[in-house]
Structure 1
Amino acid sequence: MNAQPSAATPVLPPLLALMTGQTDAAQLTRVSLAYVEQRIKLYLRFGEPARTDRLDHWRRIAVFLPGDVFCRIRWQANDYGTIRWQLMVMQACTSLDVAQRIPGVQPGARLLLHVESEPTVHAVLTQIDAIEALGIAPGAVAPAYWRTLGNRLAARLPLPAYTAERHTAWLAGRRLS
């Protein structure tokens, strides 16, 4: 006997709706990733995509739900060596949020941190490693920390450490709002 869906059928949770294709695609953030040996490496340093689609041998698309925080690194080289280092920490948005247009990120994202050049990218990677050493997922870090880190790098000031106490305060504040 076939069961007929009723009007009381519950709404699917966002991740399940995404996996079954029953969500509004405009609410998702699509991030282009690529790898061509010795030329370009465009990859995620952290962030948990809801889905990853493989386009071909070199390209993939990572799909994020609104509110997800992720980090994308771009490394490029030519015949003479490295020509570009770029790191961006972004937060996926809804269509109603204010977002920046970023190449390779559709429809856009809230840019929390953007650094260029090898020394500054390595400085941020050191901070990310320190956060992971505390047992904290970098995607769960307070967005204000990433903005502060970018401002400190731009002003050439010492970089602030992200502590377990700061993370606890961020989580408590988020629960209150």
Structure 2
Amino acid sequence: MPVHLPPHAVLAEQTDATQLTRVSLADMERRIKLYLRFGEPACITSLDHWRRVAVFLPGAVFCRIRWQANNYGVVRWQLMVMQACTPLDVAQRIPGVLPGAQLQLHVEGEPAVRAVLAQIDAIEALGISPAAVSSAYWRTLGNRLDARLPLPAYTTERHAAWLAGRARS
């Protein structure tokens, strides 16, 4: 569970070499909802009654969902799995994510977002944190969705192989 602290409390503990990633979140009833599906922010700061900013340390993996509607219905579904960067990493510029992040998965549209949410639910059902999942798996999901192919399940065996490979490097 994230700690709700003023931003200067988190910043005071960081060195100049550490780059924090700030992620905008919002909740305007029946209009827009920007929220985190998973990820462990170092802190969350409320800006007003409908806007917040989540702050992530370098290397943290998180998922932000954007849902947007107008007077005629839902106009946008978006899901992004991202990894917070250090100043030396290459990062994509993403609206509402400062200074940017490494994009591991980006899907648009209700069917694609719902399909990925089902995969996230299945991962959590295995007792695995989605933030600990292999970045290659998130990229594979994006490629499979683009090619309109069935989505592969993330298994405990796949996760064990990912952790073993990471331990060797």
**Shorter-chain TM-score above 0.5:** yes
Corresponding residue for residue 73 of structure 1: 65
- Please report how far the alpha carbon of residue 20 of structure 1 lies from its aligned counterpart in structure 2 after TM superposition: 6.7
Corresponding residue for residue 41 of structure 2: 49
**Structure 1 CA distance, aligned partners of 2:153 and 2:78?**
21
Is 2:110 the partner of 1:125?
no
Q: Which amino acid aligns with 1:21?
A: A
Q: Which amino acid aligns with 2:20?
A: L
SS in 1 for 2:12: coil
Q: Which amino acid aligns with 1:72?
A: R
**Structure 2 CA distance, aligned partners of 1:22 and 1:113?**
30
- Please report how far the alpha carbon of residue 22 of structure 1 lies from its aligned counterpart in structure 2 after TM superposition: 2.8
**Structure 2 CA distance, aligned partners of 1:144 and 1:39?**
33
Matches within 5 A, 1:79-158: 79-158=71-150
Aligned-residue Cα RMSD (Å) equals 1.2
Corresponding residue for residue 52 of structure 2: 60
- Please report how far the alpha carbon of residue 21 of structure 1 lies from its aligned counterpart in structure 2 after TM superposition: 1.2
Aligned residues: 160
Please list every run of 5 or more consecutive structure 2 residues that lacks an aligned counterpart in the other structure: 1-8
**% identity of equivalent residues:** 76
Q: Which amino acid aligns with 1:47?
A: G
**Structure 2 CA distance, aligned partners of 1:111 and 1:50?**
20
- Aligned equivalent of 1:22, options 13, 17, 22: 13
List structure 1 runs of 4+ shifted beyond 4 angstroms: none
Q: Which amino acid aligns with 1:133?
A: A
Bigger Cα Rg: 1
Instruction: State TM-score, norm by structure 2.
Output: 0.92
Instruction: State TM-score, norm by structure 1.
Output: 0.88
**Structure 1 CA distance, aligned partners of 2:133 and 2:99?**
23
**Structure 1 CA distance, aligned partners of 2:10 and 2:20?**
12
